[in-house]
Structure formats: C-alpha cells, structure tokens
Amino acid sequence: MKLQGINLKQIALLLNTIFICKSNPNRIYKQDMQNEEKWITELMLLRSIIQKTPLFRTIKWGAEVFTWNGRNVLSYGGFRNYFALWFYNGVFLTDKDKLLVSAQEGKTKSLRQWRFSSAKEIDEAKILAYIQEAIEVERKGLKIKPEKFQPLELPVLLEEAIRNDDRLSAGFKKLSPGKQKEYIVYLLEAKQEQTRNRRLEKIMPGIMQGIGLNDKYK
C-alpha cells in the first residue's frame, strides 16, 4: 500500500527515526539493524512488545538495548534473511520451545538469538514469557564464569612486526594479557596469508594506541 508515493514501510522507518531522535535530541544514533527497511514494521512490533515490560531502554553500540538494574537483558535487529531478538544471557533460559540459537556456534558463550522470518511468527505472550524469565536470570545474578586465562604463542607475522617496530612493540606490551589474546586470536583465525596480512595492517594502529580489539563494544 502506498500513500502519496510513500509506502507504509517508509512511513514506519521515518516514525522510528523520529522516536529515536526525540528520546535524546542532542544525539543522532546509527541504528542500521533497527532501521532495516525490509523488516521495519516487524521490528517496531517487537519493540512495542518489549516496551510492555519493566526493562529500561538505553542506547549502546549505536542501538537500543533494554536493561534491568543496569544489566543488559536484550536487544533486537534486522538482518538480510531474518529479524531477531537476542538475550545477552540467553544461555540460562530454559527455552522449552527450543526457539533460541547461538549466533556463532562454538564462539558465542552467553548470547542467544530468537529468529523470525515473518510477522506471523511473532507470539506476544511467548515473547513476554521469555523476557520475564530473562529478567529473573538477571535478578539471580547468573553469569558464565570467565575461562581461566591461557596465554597464546605470538603468530610469526605479529612477532616479526613487533620486532621491527618499536612503537608497535611498546603498544603491545602495554596491553593487558586479555587484550593481547584478542589480537592474537584475530590473526590466528585467518586461514590465508593474504587475510592475515590485511588483518595485521588493520590492527596495528589500535595496538600502538593501547586500544583492545573489542574495546568499542564495551
């Protein structure tokens, strides 16, 4: 359906943007996933359901995140083939309906996604029940214990770069062991030499500045 040349999804996108801006007129937030035009109507429906809960809406990493007592509970967004809710401590949910999936099997520890492919799959009562359980998880303070730190051997590529660049060497030494490990794993995950070289070039400025690979998400 179109109204004077503008379709309903475009209107929904505009209303969503106005809502975000009015909530904090001093800042403009980048909300690519939450303004995904393909799913904008469905995403607004998800948000309307979330807003019926006692969760507090805030902005983190350029997107809406809903919290309880300052702890991240859930967020939502649209992707190419689906839109989703995700629970930051979803691993502790009973998930009796087997709806939750790990975004990256073997890598994602706590976060779990609930994916949808159409508005018909949105079950408000079921979503509210899952959210209530997620709040109980936070009320109980459940969390995955961090794994015992295991130092990793430096990749040859990074070792050579550090040996030949005093600034890089000094920056890497200033990083905490955990942040050093983030960079090492990032390089080790690359299977091809070309990819490893490209990744090294990408991370060198951050290492020199003493910035961790994932600091922007914290």
Instruction: Tally Cβ neighbours within 10 Å of residue 28.
Output: 10
**Predicted confidence band of residue 31 (pLDDT cuts 50, 70, 90):** low
67-101 per-position pLDDT tens digit: 999 999 999 999 999 999 999 999 999 999 999 99
Q: Which residue has the higher pLDDT, 118 or 11?
A: 118
* Residues 50-74, mean pLDDT to the nearest whole number: 94
**Predicted confidence band of residue 1 (pLDDT cuts 50, 70, 90):** very low
pLDDT of residue 149: 67
Q: What is the DSSP letter of 192?
A: S
**Predicted confidence band of residue 18 (pLDDT cuts 50, 70, 90):** very low
Pairing outcome for strands 83-87 and 71-78: antiparallel
**Predicted confidence band of residue 216 (pLDDT cuts 50, 70, 90):** low
Is pLDDT above 50 for 15?
yes
* Residues 212-217, mean pLDDT to the nearest whole number: 74
pTM above 0.75, yes or no: no
Residues 6+ apart with CB under 8 A from 17: 35
Please, what's the b/e burial string for 153-183 (b: 16 or more CB within 10 A of its CB; e: otherwise)? Answer: ebbebbeebbeeeeebeebbeebeeebbbbb
* Residues 140-146, mean pLDDT to the nearest whole number: 89
Is pLDDT above 90 for 28?
no
| Average model confidence (pLDDT) across the chain | 85
